[in-house]
Amino acid sequence: MKRVLLLLPTTGYRNNDFVAAARTLGVEIVAAANYCHRLAPSWGLPPIMALHFDQPEQAADTVLREIDGTLDAVLAVDDSGVELAALLSERLGLPGNPAHAVRRVRDKLAFRRLLREREFPCPEFHHLPTGEDPRKLVPDLKFPVVVKARRLSGSRGVIRADDPEELFRAVNRVRAIQSRADRDAQELGLIIEAFIPGREYALEGTLDRGELTTLALFDKPDPLDGPYFEETLYVTPSRLPGALQERIHHEVARACCVAGLTAGPVHAEVRVNKQGIWLLEIAARSIGGLCGRVLTHSLGMSLEELILRPLVGKPLAKPLALAGKGGAAGVMMIPIPRRGIYHGLEGLAAAQAVPGVTGVTITAEPGQIVAPPPDGASYLGFIFARALIPADAETALRIAHRSLNFDIRPEYPAVDARRAPH
């Protein structure tokens, strides 16, 4: 039986989906996780269940010391573990991307430098080291600009600024977000780049010996112009002209090649305007959250199974039926309207009954503190839809979302100062 080491983040949406796919394929899963290293021993968990995913060298040493038996592959469920997975694959001589390539595309500054060196369309950008005054950059900036944390995902730590005062506030806020979320924040600093106008699209694909297969190209119908960039709708197949879709595929494939990515899932985000195709990011992982479920119908299997198959020597018996062949599909990452404590919702049955809606999964738990970007890194849940054409799938998602009413209360109840005890 094939054995795969799965790096399962404790807050991951897709852990169960990957485990289910492994069971479908008859694959033995060796679980590794990032539980608190202080609490895990008291719970009786072994060291491999308390890895620091964000310290890949140290974590790899722990895995190699603790692992029992041989492995056939190492796979990270989400962005937090991709560097560790690549490093372990290198050390064990297993298939996978080079660790330096994965590290390069995760770092927004390194990726921008790569795009500029290889003459891709690339916005003007600047590195702002920790502690340096952003005022020194103002003479060189053309507003609007976007301030970004260097390694966070899911629109976390990304803020648009339209003038110097907004820039100073954005820098302070993103620095605070990055310092809480990335242990290397002091060394990383921030990136400040020119805002790219246009509509966004997402490409989901896989690499096999450097050859890119596009599984789906998603439209993002909602404008993402800031000041924050919370993603909501993904709809496929794209309504872009076929020739432009081919150009997007070509640009993503070329960027993967120059970055050194050769194998496994790829998720790319692009903006398109009259000046061309602008690569926002390329990630050596699949689409986040539960969004991959939107492709199950068109692929004929779960996206997780598709990712696992080549790792365990079980190639597809027939060519893929790519997204769009069986109609249109869409997913909404249910946005968080405000920061607070989630208590529940109304209207779930009505949302589920909307024609075209195939499922509504609420992932937030009562009592959980929720926050939208740029601070938060999660969603309230996911709505899925299928239809004959993309516009109808999009409409079903919007109607279902309007049916939902979320109860989100302030973390600290307001107190009437006139009635407060003295």
**pTM of the complete model:** 0.93
Cβ(321)–Cβ(351) below 8 Å? no
Tell whether the model's pLDDT for residue 326 goes beyond 90: no
Cβ(266)–Cβ(212) below 8 Å? yes
Q: Please state, as a whole number, how many other Cβ atoms lie within 10 Å of the Cβ of residue 203.
A: 25
> Rounded to 10 degrees, what is the CA torsion of 318, 313, 329, 324?
-30
State the Cα angle at 351 between 349 and 357, rounded to 5°: 115
What's residue 322's pLDDT?
A: 53
Cβ(346)–Cβ(334) below 8 Å? no
Cβ(215)–Cβ(204) below 8 Å? yes
What's residue 418's pLDDT?
A: 59
Residue 295 and residue 17: Cα distance in Å, rounded?
Answer: 13
List the one residue out of 13, 397, 12, 78 whose CA is nearest residue 220: 397
Per-residue pLDDT, averaged over 165-180, amounts to 97
Domains and CATH numbers, the chain: 3-103 (3.40.50.20), 124-194 (3.30.1490.20), 199-409 (3.30.470.20)
Rounded CA Rg of the chain: 22
Mean pLDDT lowest among 42-51, 114-123, 170-179, 320-329: 320-329
Q: What are phi and psi of 233, to 5 degrees?
A: -100, 135
Residue 334 and residue 5: Cα distance in Å, rounded?
Answer: 31
Cβ(89)–Cβ(113) below 8 Å? no
Give pLDDT tens digits for 63-111.
999 998 899 999 999 999 999 999 999 999 999 999 999 999 999 999 9
What's residue 414's pLDDT?
A: 60
> Rounded to 10 degrees, what is the CA torsion of 379, 384, 390, 391?
-80
Length of the chain: 422
Residue 249 to residues 214, 276, 372, 385, Cα–Cα distance (Å) = 7, 13, 31, 25
List the one residue out of 143, 150, 8, 1 whose CA is nearest residue 75: 8
Tell me 264's DSSP state. Answer: E
Tell whether the model's pLDDT for residue 293 goes beyond 60: yes
Residue 383 and residue 61: Cα distance in Å, rounded?
Answer: 40
Confidence of residue 314 (pLDDT cuts 50, 70, 90): confident
Percent pLDDT > 90 in the chain is: 87
Confidence of residue 378 (pLDDT cuts 50, 70, 90): confident
Residue 317 and residue 75: Cα distance in Å, rounded?
Answer: 22
Euclidean distance between the first and the last CA atom of the chain, given in angstroms as a whole number: 70
Tell whether the model's pLDDT for residue 316 goes beyond 60: yes
Tell whether the model's pLDDT for residue 420 goes beyond 60: no
Residue 168 and residue 165: Cα distance in Å, rounded?
Answer: 5
What lies within 8 Å, CB to CB, of 37 at 6+ separation is: 50, 52
